[in-house]
Amino acid sequence: MTRPSFLRRFLAHDPARMAIEYGEQSLSFGQLRQLGEGTAGWLRAHGVVAGDRVCIHLDTSVDLLAAHLGCMALGAIRVPLNVHYKAIELAPIVEDAAPTLAISASPACFAGVPTVARPGLDAPVAEWAGLDDVTALLFTSGTTGRPKGAPQTWTMWESNLDALQARWELAGRDVLWLTLPLFHTHGLVVGLHGAWLRGAKVVLRDRFDPIEPPAGVSHFYGVPTYYRRWLPLMQARPELFTGFRLLVSGSDGLPAEVSDAIFAATGHRILERYGMTETVMIASNPGSGERRAGSVGTALPGTRIRTADGEVQVRGPGVFGGYWPRADEGAFTEDGYFRTGDAGELDGDGYLRIVGRKKDLIIVGGVNISPAEVERVLAAVPGVADVGCCGLYDADLNEVVVAAVVSDGSVSEGVLQARLEHAAGQLSGLKRPRRYAFVAELPHNALGKLQRGRIAAEVGFVR
């Protein structure tokens, strides 16, 4: 049986080697293996077979690890879901994922799908899966407002993580302090699976707080908001950060002033890298060598980057094969490059700078938000004639969502705002507009398409 090379390498780690520390609990690689085999037996007893999809809707916990490991051992496709999402945000994802089983404490979000609150153990499977195929289905915000499924294969992850880890000069002895959520590429793939590939220990925490790092950790990956929040402690007590060998930022641009302030306080130059759910990691600064603030570095080995009409386009072994279950015809160029929708500039040395977005996307605290999804919820509010959302600079979250609203005049602005806030309560916190502006009209082009890039300036949102 051909087992995915990633899995073979994971299973070959010394069983006695420490893999996970989570609060008082610790698990060696051998214990992870046992947990995977027993959970796979439990999944099998719940009717799951290789190739089925299983929604994992759990907070960071040993249960979440068990659910992933069980799917890995059985060869089921994991569909990790954002625990902050509310029912209307999960509905289209669950519909597309068509899972055999959901592991979630909120069965109401999974109508018609057998749902169990937590995974259990059963007679262990004897063999780990032999599929070298899709191992996870990650949903990412589509610019249309409907999330899109991006199938992830073992080979995509392995080739990409090998290239990334060589660039970062990572080793098995590293200890990663992982506080990112485990349902996005950053925490799940680069963080957790990156460590599982090379046999590194992960000290896991269920959320980031700008606190003193635990003793013995050497690596940390975060979104810019984490570094913004950590900066005051770094400035007050830089000695707490001397144990780190590498601090990485990604998922959104790290402002140069934050990077420079951290460098001045601690001597660490934060390593910036750039990636996407559809591509895993695309470009990175080096572990040693020149890290340029404001740049996301050069293409990873094996990956090709180009810019066309200012858009970053990418080809390489980490790039997925297409969305599922609905292909997006425009996702790739005719010659096979994936269109990222990010605006970038490459300099003569191949260093890439992300200078903006050509796609309608707002990134709040490292979380991608489709303005169209928010607008659809707000447009249904009685009294709204037109509505448009855009991102506005925020000194904590990098960007927040704001909404410009045209009233139909049937109620006062005060009543309309209260209705809008109530409706936005159907969405998870980061999607809810921070401000509303009532305007006479919104910018549309000749074809009637909303010009979101012009909203902030036209409605007088001050950056």
Point out which residues bind ligand AMP (CB under 6 A).
140, 184-185, 250-253, 272, 274-277, 296, 340, 342, 354, 357, 363, 368
Considering the complex, state which of residue 36 and residue 253 has its C-beta at the smaller distance from ligand AMP: 253
For ligand AMP, give the closer residue by CB, 14 or 396: 396
Q: Taking CB within 5 to 8 Å according to partner kind, which of ligand AMP, ligand MLC, none is near residue 198?
A: none
Four-CA torsion 322, 183, 313, 454, nearest 10 degrees:
110
Residue 354 binds: one of ligand AMP, ligand MLC, none (C-beta under 5 to 8 A by kind): ligand AMP
d(Cα 22, Cα 24) in Å, to the nearest integer?
6
Q: How far apart are CA 16 and CA 346, in angstroms?
A: 45
CB of 180 to ligand AMP, least distance (A): 12
Phi, psi of 183 (to 5 degrees): -120, 5
Residue 225 binding partner per list ligand MLC, ligand AMP, none, with a CB distance cut-off of 5 to 8 Å that depends on partner kind: ligand MLC
Class of residue 140 by CB neighbours under 10 A (exposed 0-12, middle 13-18, buried 19+)? middle
Least distance in angstroms from the C-beta of 201 to ligand MLC:
20
Q: Collect contacts of 332-341 with beta carbons under 8 A, ≥24 apart.
A: 333/308, 337/304, 337/306, 337/308, 337/313, 338/278, 338/279, 338/313, 338/314, 339/311, 339/313, 340/276, 340/279, 340/282, 340/311, 340/312, 340/313, 340/314, 341/143, 341/311
140 binds, among ligand MLC, ligand AMP, none (CB under 5 to 8 A by kind): ligand AMP
Looking at the Cβ atoms of 342 and 373, the one nearer to ligand AMP is 342
What is the smallest separation between the CB atom of 141 and ligand AMP, expressed in angstroms?
A: 7
Query: Burial, 361: exposed, middle or buried (Cβ in 10 Å; 0-12, 13-18, 19+)?
Result: buried
Closest approach, Cβ 363 to ligand AMP, in A, equals 6
Minimum distance, C-beta of residue 77 to ligand AMP, in the bound complex (Å):
18
CB of 17: closest distance to ligand MLC in angstroms?
27
CA-based nearest residue to 189, from 156, 149, 223, 218? 156
| Burial class for 368, CB neighbours closer than 10 Å (0-12, 13-18, 19+) | buried
Residue 57 Cβ, how far from ligand AMP at the closest point, in Å?
Answer: 18
* Buried residues in 409-430 as b, exposed as e (16+ CB within 10 A): eebeeeebbebbeebbeebbeb
What is the phi-psi region of residue 377: left when phi exceeds 0, alpha when psi lies from -120 to 50, beta otherwise?
A: alpha
Q: Decide whether 184 or 292 has the Cβ nearer to ligand MLC.
A: 184
Nearer residue to ligand MLC within complex by CB, 77 or 401: 401
Give the pair of three-digit tokens for residue 165: 């880890």
Nearer to ligand MLC, 102 or 276 (CB): 276
Residue 272's binding partner out of ligand MLC, ligand AMP, none, with CB under 5 to 8 Å set by partner kind:
ligand AMP
Q: Which does 158 bind (CB under 5 to 8 A by kind): ligand MLC, ligand AMP, none?
A: none
What are the residues whose beta carbons fall under 8 Å from the beta carbon of 414, sequence distance 6 or more?
Answer: none
Q: Look at residue 37 and give the partner it binds from ligand MLC, ligand AMP, none, a contact being a CB closer than 5 to 8 Å depending on partner kind.
A: none
- Residues in contact with ligand MLC by the rule CB under 6 A: 82, 84, 180-181, 184-187, 208, 223, 225, 250-251, 275-277, 365-367, 428-430
Cβ closest to ligand MLC, residue 129 vs residue 223: 223
Q: What, of ligand MLC, ligand AMP, none, does residue 82 touch, CB below 5 to 8 Å by kind?
A: ligand MLC
* Bridge partners, residue 246, by sequence: 219
Which of 94/312 has CB closer to ligand AMP? 312
